[in-house]
Amino acid sequence: MIGNDIVDLKHSAYNWKRPRFLDKVFTKNEQALIFSSENKHETFWLLWSMKEAAYKIHVQQFGERFFNPKRLVCELFSDLSTEKVEVKGTVNIDNNSYLTTSTITEDYVYTIATLSASKTKQSSIFKAEISSHCIQSDVLKRALLKSISKTQQLPLQDLNIKKTVTGVPELFCVDSKLLMSFSLTHCGRFFGFVY
């Protein structure tokens, strides 16, 4: 199983410094990481992205949706004080651990979460200036289906995506469910998928 999340750093003007907000979303250790970082804004969104990507796997795995961001506990393996483009870490949810790899650029933070490090994955990030959420979602799904069609040699017109009752997207070829884990994300100008 796989999950991903992207944050457009230029369009993420959310005031995360509001009183008590950090206490609702991050553990004391996570807050210490944010406040000790040279780039607090970037570190905030890195941890947020890690939690979101891991949450997507957890929902796929257990069919359980919840809102309790502090239940997802982030740990970083990379030192943020150096100029890192790629950051490794884990997110623990109860007794489940998810490995994360995050890419940080001046424009975005992109995280992929997996159950194990040995999985081969196909990932793509692209940029588009689209303001409508519905159109963003359609463009992203179409890009994923085109990629899967090409890499798996399946007819594009036979592929579609349906959501489960818990909102997890699943891939179908005609009416047969394919056992392929994938994840979709978009924020601001950036879109990403992984499978």
In tens digits, the chain (195 residues) has pLDDT values of 999 999 999 887 677 887 789 999 999 999 999 999 999 999 999 999 999 999 999 999 999 999 999 999 999 998 776 666 899 999 999 999 999 999 999 999 999 999 988 666 899 999 998 888 889 999 999 999 999 999 999 999 999 999 999 999 999 999 999 999 999 999 999 999 999
**For the chain, first and last CA: distance in Å?**
9
DSSP code for 178: P
Tell whether pTM > 0.85.
yes
Instruction: Show the domains of the chain with their CATH numbers.
Output: 2-118 (3.90.470.20), 125-194 (no CATH)
Element (H, E) at 150: helix 133-152
Q: Please give the Cα distance from 57 to 115 (Å, whole number).
A: 8
Q: How far apart are CA 59 and CA 123, in angstroms?
A: 20
Q: In angstroms, rounded to a whole number, what is the distance separating the alpha carbons of residues 29 and 92?
A: 13
Q: Alpha helices, DSSP H only, in the chain?
A: 21-25, 28-36, 40-62, 133-152
How many Å apart are CA 72 and CA 74, to the nearest integer? 7
Q: Is 112 helix (H, G, I), strand (E, B) or coil?
A: strand
For the stretch 13-45, pLDDT in tens is: 677 887 789 999 999 999 999 999 999 999 999
Q: What angle do CA 121, 45, 53 make, to 5 degrees?
A: 35
Which residue type sits at 157? Q
154 by DSSP, 3-state: which? Answer: coil
